[in-house]
Every structure is written in structure tokens, then in C-alpha cells.
Structure 1
Amino acid sequence: MDSAYWKLAHWKRIPVYAHWTILLWFPWALIQGIKLVWLFPSFLAFVTILLFHEFGHAIAARYTDTKVYAIKLFLMHGECSHETPYYESEDILIAWGGVLGQLLLLVLAVVAQYLLFYFSTMWMYQLSPVFDVLTKTNLIIIAFNLIPVKPLDGVIAWRIIPFVLLKIRTKKAGILSRFAKRQQTSGSKTKEQTEEKNADKIAQELFDRLKK
């Protein structure tokens, strides 16, 4: 791996790297007005967002039996390197995995914030810079990633709309086809029954004539 990357850990044999640009968070956070004492905790919260996003991709990839090569963290985004999925549905699921991971973190952060508000209002306000990162910054990154422009996830993620529409049309066509076959079968049965009734009627008439 390039010297610009630092190896952080391994997760299920998947190496996790951080690029040096991730440190640009510190000057950016200072410009945003984050106090010096909360600078490092806010940075950890930011890294947590990136990890949840990329692990979301990785978990979705492993669920579809798609091999994951590495996870890399940069400033404001990450990268989950994996092989190309065989099916379109798998590619879409992997693309949404990152957003779903961030949404999970968002829910956990909101729940933790409400619990702190209930048990200790002081600590909730003290930790507000960290919660701002886990909620507001998290939502900004989610919205940014869903923009349908390469290399963002939105390019693949929004393919879910035509994919679902195609599935609905295919299912509808299948239902109509089965209904038509049933109608045809029902029509054939009705025709056979009518013919049988006519034959019985003719036979009965011939029998009545013979009796006379």
C-alpha cells in the first residue's frame, strides 16, 4: 500500500486504511467553530460515520458473496474496494449498504441523545458538538453520497427505481399471462361441456323416436 495510507485494522480479513487527507478534518472543524477541547472527540465521531458507511458496503457485499478487497478512509468520504457483482440487484444493494449503515448510526445517535436528555441534560449539552457531527454532518454526507454523479453511490443506488418498475411490470405481465391461460382453459372447458350437452340432447331425441 502507498505510504500516503496508514493501516488501521483488519475486519474479517479485510484491511482498513486511512489516507492522510483525513487529518484535514481538524482545520475544517476549527473553521466551523468547534472548540479545541471537542476537536478530537468530533474527529472520532466523523471517522465513525465513515466506518459505518464503508462497513455498510462491506456487509452488503459479503451478503451477496461479493469479495471485498479493502476499506479506505479519506476526507469526507471513503472507499470499499470489491469485485464487480454478477447481478444488477446485488450492485444496487451494495450501493445502498453505505447509506443504510449511516442511517443506523443516526438512529443510535438520536436515541443516545434522548437518553442523555432524560438522565443528564448537562451532559447532553456538553456533548452537543459530537452529536452534531453524528446527526447533522451524517445527514449531509448521506445526501452528498446519493447525488447521481460518479463516483458517488447515487449513480448505482438510484437504479433501484427502474429495477423495481421492471420487476413490477414483469410480475404484472406474468399475472396477466396466467389469467389469460385460465380464461382460455375455462373457455375450452365450457365449450366441451356445451358440446357434451348437445350430444346428449341429440342422443335423447333419437332414443325417443325409436321408442315411438
Structure 2
Amino acid sequence: MSNDWSMEHKLDDQDLPVGTDSGLATYGPECPSENACDENNFVIYGITGGKQYICYPFVDDGKPYQLKGYNYNGADSGAGKLVEMYGYLGHWGMSTFDLPTSIDDGGQLAAMNLHTTAQGSNTTDVLNSWVFITQSTGGVKLVYGGGFVPGDAWNSIDSIKNMEDVVPLSPVAATQAGKVYALEEKDDGTRRIVEWRRESGDDITFERLKEVETPE
């Protein structure tokens, strides 16, 4: 990969309006089965008036969101301030996410999918979501579970171990390789990107790996 970035093209070669404090989310294929993951690439962002280009429903102006692509079958329902939506043919519906979860004003989101193959009589691919939320007091909250297998429960962790020093309302990013990135503040007051890795096993734990080298 080159160190230089360039713009490929604009949609239909037209300028697209972006709202103040617009969120931006992208999605690409994330698992080996086309039955579980959408094979297309998407970019979604906020325009003025709290609307997302191209689909709906809309989030409030300046609020963050993440885009994850997997097939879903279930009754429409939703609860809490954090909601999960699924898109189909230009429309959005609520998933069965039912865990009341608040997000601090200015909190940022990142998400990863955990892909497994169900055992026993259920041979359908299973894709659970992990949502990372930075908090106004520092640290990172985790909401995890869901997917499209009936009966899957959502759970939450108020503060992820080894991420307590993440600065308040830090930007956060997550990858399908199980890596999470956020900001910590050093003793001299400067902020650095830090990398964590999800550890294997039944317990949900993240190992703090290192500070990411960035140019001064």
C-alpha cells in the first residue's frame, strides 16, 4: 500500500452534501459464507437534517454509527438508546436487540463481527456482533451478542479490562482480526493510538499490545 491516498471517484461524479459532525461507516465482506455476509461494499454517512445517504431510519445529528453486513430473519423490535438495524432493498428495520444501553453524548462506536459455524442440528453460519462504545468518563463499554440465530442473548460489559486508560470520548476502531484501536494520554499530555487484541477463550478479554507508531 502506498503512503499516499487519492480520491477514486464521486458517486455519479456529483458532490454529495455532508452534515456537520457527520458520522461515517463502511462495510466490506467479512466472512466466508455468502449466506451470512453481504458480498457488496457499502459506505454510509450523515447528511444535513439527521438523514443517512441512502436509506432510513435516521439517527440524530452528530451521532455515531457503524455498518455491519449480515443476513437477518426475525420480528421487528428494538429497545434502548443503542439500536441495531438491518437493511434490505433500500429500507431499514429494527432487529431483536433488546438490551437497554445508553451512549454518553459524544461517545464513539466501533463494531466487529464474530463468525462461527453452529453445531448440532443448526448448521447455519452464526455471526455475532461486538460493539465498542467510548465513555465520557474514559474507558470503553462493550455490547455483544445478537446475530440472526433465534434465542441469542445480548450482554454488556460496563468497562473493558485493560482499556480503562482510554481517554474520554476517544475515537475507536475495530477490525475483523480482533484488533481494537483507541487513544490513551501519556504523562506529557500527548495522546497516542493504542492497539488491543481480543484473546481466545470463553472469557471476553483484550490484551493491550502496544502504542501505534505515528509520524510526529
User: Which protein has the bigger strand share?
Assistant: 2
TM class by shorter chain equals: under 0.3
User: Which protein has the bigger helix share?
Assistant: 1
TM-score by length of 1: 0.26
Larger RCO (CA under 8 A, 6+ residues apart): 1
TM-score by length of 2: 0.26
